[in-house]
């Protein structure tokens, strides 16, 4: 049986790597405001996602310091399920990196339309319109398995779904306006978060 400490260390590393990865790409491809035609402004859903993020981070920190404090929200996950969560997170990181490589300079830390933006339809974008958000679901959603705690994992899932919902709504509308029929054809042959069957 794997110790709880092992899963706590793994979960801490996953969050640290996730934040570091995001920070790396934010520095590598800083948002050029002079090229921005339109960007997503703060809305009720983005503010709600920010509040949920704070709650999710606090719950995770409490779990990492002492999981007994959240024993009331723990659920009996077998070790193999928790290791499955680690695999899901690793798949998410692989997809995230592949997506960043395909996007290159088209990536932005927040949804925006730029003057130099291109419609990317290679790499994972060949099958999925929003693979970075799929990666977020895999990485942050794996928390429910790794921690074996429905409060910690549930909060991360809620944060992720609330955030990507507003982002996708913004991006889909703006990309359709920017690329017109080309984007409409792209939408018909791809899935939003998962490949179209």
Tell me what pLDDT residue 44 has: 74
Residue 191 phi, psi dihedral angles, 5° rounding: -95, 160
Q: Helix (H) and strand (E) counts for the chain?
A: 7, 2
**According to the model, what pLDDT value does residue 109 have?**
83
Residue 29: predicted pLDDT:
84
Domain ranges of the chain: 4-17+38-189
Residue 128, SS3? Answer: strand
Tell me phi and psi for residue 39, to 5 degrees.
Answer: -135, 160
The whole-model pTM stands at 0.92
**CATH numeric code, 4-17+38-189:** 1.20.120.1630
pLDDT < 70 regions, the chain: none
pLDDT at 59: 96
Interacting residues of 151 by C-beta distance below 8 A, sequence separation 6+? 59, 70, 73
- Tell me the three state secondary structure of residue 120: coil
């Amino acid at each position: 049986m794997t110790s709880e400490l092992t899963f706590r260390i793994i979960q801490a590393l996953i969050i640290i790597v996730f934040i570091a990865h995001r920070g790396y790409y934010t520095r590598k491809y800083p948002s050029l405001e002079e090229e921005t035609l339109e960007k997503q402004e703060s809305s009720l859903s983005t503010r709600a996602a920010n509040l949920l993020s704070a709650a999710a981070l606090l719950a995770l920190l409490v779990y990492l310091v002492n999981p007994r404090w959240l024993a009331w929200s723990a659920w009996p996950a077998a070790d193999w399920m928790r290791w499955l969560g680690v695999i899901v997170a690793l798949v998410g990181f692989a997809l995230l990196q592949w997506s960043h490589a395909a996007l290159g300079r088209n990536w932005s830390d927040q949804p925006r339309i730029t003057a130099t933006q291109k419609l990317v339809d290679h790499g994972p974008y060949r099958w999925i319109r929003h693979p970075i958000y799929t990666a977020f679901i895999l990485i942050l959603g794996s928390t429910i398995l790794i921690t074996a705690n429905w409060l910690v994992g549930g909060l991360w899932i809620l944060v992720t779904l609330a955030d990507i919902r507003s982002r996708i709504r913004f991006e889909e509308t703006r990309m359709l306006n920017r690329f017109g029929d080309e984007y409409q054809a792209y939408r018909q042959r791809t899935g939003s978060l998962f490949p179209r069957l």
